[in-house]
Structure 1
Amino acid sequence: MSTLEKRKVCLLGATGVGKTSLVMRFVRSIFSDQYLTTIGTKIETKHLTYGDHEIVLVLWDLSGEDEFQRVRLSYLRGAAGYLLVADGTRRATVETAMALHHAATEVVGDVPRVLVLNKADLRAFWELDDAYERELAAHGPVFETSAKTGAGVEEAFRALGHALLQR
């Protein structure tokens, strides 16, 4: 008998890191470079199966934050986990993601999270070196993704879904 669980997952990150593109690639297998900046929140769902367990990820694509505002913390309430999204071509977005992680922890506690370094298709232009990525990985799972090509996207979301089922 299969069990079905729904879990709220928020995507957090600076403006322009590719949160909406990642959601659209994961949920609908599409990519467009014509997305507009998210205002507020967009919600999508995706069913995942792990053996005899099925989980529905309710994905909250939150507007980008360059400085986390307290008013946005209310969107995190009830989240079972979150994806921190950064743009590998802009190191400052990793620092924003880590600041968001600390702010989110205050609201939802120690829930599963995954750090996504997006825009792997532009790896030649990354402002991150291997040593920095290893340092980030010491604090939790890190995935290199490309919403454009789809590389690593499914793996990142599935890893978070699996962690949610383990709790």
Structure 2
Amino acid sequence: MLQKKICLLGASAVGKTSLVRRFVESIYSDGYQTTVGVKIEKKVLNAGGEDVMLLLWDLYGEDDFQKLRLSYLRGAAGFLVVCDGTRKDTLEKALAVHRSAEQEFGKIPAMIAINKSDLASEWEISQQTENSLSQDGWSLMRTSAKTGAGVEEAFQGLARLTLAK
């Protein structure tokens, strides 16, 4: 069976761990727990008629006090670039982390997950920004770890991108 290492990139508290838990275990918890280092989960899915085991590297979020160690990204087949739709600055942080990864490892399939779509009334990322990212070649998915909306589709879409490479 094909295995693909997928790294989740983004700022602290954007919902990376919650997305992984929703995808792998179909659960959500309101409590916030900081990821220390990296946590690895596995899930098999069928992408494009092929079974693929995703090795999901849930990395600690980058913030003002700690930068992501790029060595964690070595061997990645894809990146899920996660931001919080209610905090516009997390999109820039996520894109900056992705740019650093791309400079170090070259072009690797990636998708942006704009998380917390269940909080649409507090949304800070404009449709214009989403359109601009799409025009720049990004695949985008609005997700909600809380409700599960878009979560399966985001991981499926990223798996297909890694297989197409």
TM-score by length of 1: 0.93
CA–CA separation in structure 1 for the residues paired with 2:7 and 2:50? 21
Secondary structure at the residue paired with 2:119?
helix
2:141 is matched with which residue?
Answer: 143
- Which of residues 41, 53, 59 in structure 2 aligns to 1:62? 59
Secondary structure at the residue paired with 2:39?
strand
Contact preservation (8 Å) 1:77, 1:107 = no
Q: 1:52, CA displacement in angstroms?
A: 4.0
Residues 88-141 of structure 1 show CA distances to partners (whole Å, capped at 9, x for unaligned) of 000000000110110010222111100000000001101111111111222310
Higher deviation after alignment, 129-138 or 76-85: 129-138
Unaligned 5+ runs, structure 2 = none
Unaligned 5+ runs, structure 1 = none
CA–CA separation in structure 1 for the residues paired with 2:21 and 2:41? 9
CA–CA separation in structure 2 for the residues paired with 1:160 and 1:141? 9
Give me the CA root mean square deviation: 1.3
CA–CA separation in structure 2 for the residues paired with 1:138 and 1:116? 16
1:153 is matched with which residue?
Answer: 151
Contact preservation (8 Å) 2:47, 2:156 = no
Secondary structure at the residue paired with 2:61?
coil
Contact preservation (8 Å) 2:10, 2:62 = yes
Residues 65-95 of structure 1 show CA distances to partners (whole Å, capped at 9, x for unaligned) of 02572x6101001111110000000000000
Q: 1:31, CA displacement in angstroms?
A: 0.3
TM-score by length of 2: 0.95
Specify whether residues 28 and 128 from structure 1 end up closer, same or farther in structure 2 by C-alpha distance, changes over 3 A only: same
1:84 is matched with which residue?
Answer: 81
CA–CA separation in structure 2 for the residues paired with 1:128 and 1:135? 11
2:42 is matched with which residue?
Answer: 45
Secondary structure at the residue paired with 2:111?
strand
2:122 is matched with which residue?
Answer: 125
Count the aligned residue pairs.
163
Q: 1:51, CA displacement in angstroms?
A: 4.9
Higher deviation after alignment, 60-69 or 138-147: 60-69
CA–CA separation in structure 2 for the residues paired with 1:24 and 1:35? 13
Q: 1:35, CA displacement in angstroms?
A: 3.6
2:105 is matched with which residue?
Answer: 108
Residues 25-76 of structure 1 show CA distances to partners (whole Å, capped at 9, x for unaligned) of 000100001241001000000101135411111000000002572x610100
